[in-house]
Structure 1
Amino acid sequence: MSKYLLNKFLFTVDRDPELVEAYREDPRGTVAMWEEQYANRILNCISGESSTWLTFDDTEREALATHDYVKLFELGAHPFLTLTLFIGMFERDHPPMGFQTEYARRLSHVTMPYPDIAT
């Protein structure tokens, strides 16, 4: 499991409106494409720089592919990254503050200490 890779996915997708829409419409396809094309790119480096070893495990891949932000949080994905991305994807389907309320409701079972979000 790689909390770094989960957070990198959330961070990079959230910052690209086309990826946000692709992830909303075809999450499984977007996760597969992102893992193939983006997972091993080194953030903030010149193009062409990459690593070769980063990959999602099956649990991470399934949580991303099903938009399961509760599971992502439990896996250690940063809550601010999950919240901002999923607001961008689903806020339009809810009344004002409706998605944020739903997010809080679905995570209400989590008590402190929260899962470790350090990468």
Structure 2
Amino acid sequence: MSKYLVDKFLFTIDRDPELVERYREDPAGTVEWWEREQAGRILNCPDAEATTWLAFTESERAALAGHDHVALFELGAHPFLTLTLWIAMFERDHEEPLAMQLDYAARLAHKSLPYPDIST
């Protein structure tokens, strides 16, 4: 597993409003496209280089495609990266102030210390 690759996905998607919308509307397609077309380019790898750290594991791919921030947290994705991206994608779906953030936290409430290692 490459936590760095997952974090890089979350970071780069969050920084581009068009990619945020693409990921919101077609998460599996966006994950597949990014992994195939962007992972090596963003990480400045030569086209001929193919290593396992340039590909998501099945668990990572499923969590990303399922917008599953709890699974991503359990896999070691940085929670600030998922939170900021989730705000961009899902805050508009909630009428009450901070409702999205409270829902995000409630879904992680069953977790206790020690948390997964988020270092890359």
| TM-score (norm. length: structure 2) | 0.91
Distance in 2, matches of 1:37 and 1:67, equals 20
Letter matched to residue 101 of structure 1: L
Match of 2:108 in 1: 107
The structure in which a higher percent of residues are helix is: 2
Query: How far apart are residue 42 of structure 1 and its match?
Result: 4.0
What CA distance in whole angstroms lies between the structure 1 residues aligned with 2:41 and 2:111?
A: 33
Name the SS of the counterpart of 2:40 in structure 1.
Answer: coil
C-alpha displacement at 1:50, in angstroms?
1.8
Aligned length: 114
Task: Mark the runs of 5 or more structure 2 residues left unpaired by the alignment.
Answer: none
1:41: how far off?
Answer: 2.1
Read off the aligned partner of 1:91 and give its amino acid letter. E
CA displacement at 1:78 relative to structure 2: 0.2
Amino acid at match of 2:10: L
- Whole-angstrom CA distance in 1 between matches of 2:111 and 2:3: 18
Q: CA RMSD in A?
A: 1.0
Distance in 1 between the 2:63 and 2:42 partners?
A: 23
Runs of 4+ aligned residues of structure 1 deviating over 3 Å after TM superposition are none
Aligned counterparts of 1:114 and 1:23: Cα–Cα separation in 2: 27
Separation of aligned partners in 1, 2:68 and 2:42: 26
In structure 2, how many angstroms separate the alpha carbons of the residues matched to 1:6 and 1:50?
16
Give aligned-pair identity as a percent: 67
Alignment partner, residue 118 of structure 2: 117
Structure 2 counterpart of 1:78, one-letter code: H
**Cα deviation digits, residues 56-100 of structure 1 (max 9, x gap):** 011100000000000000000000000000110000001210110
Match of 1:58 in 2: 58
TM-score by length of 1: 0.92
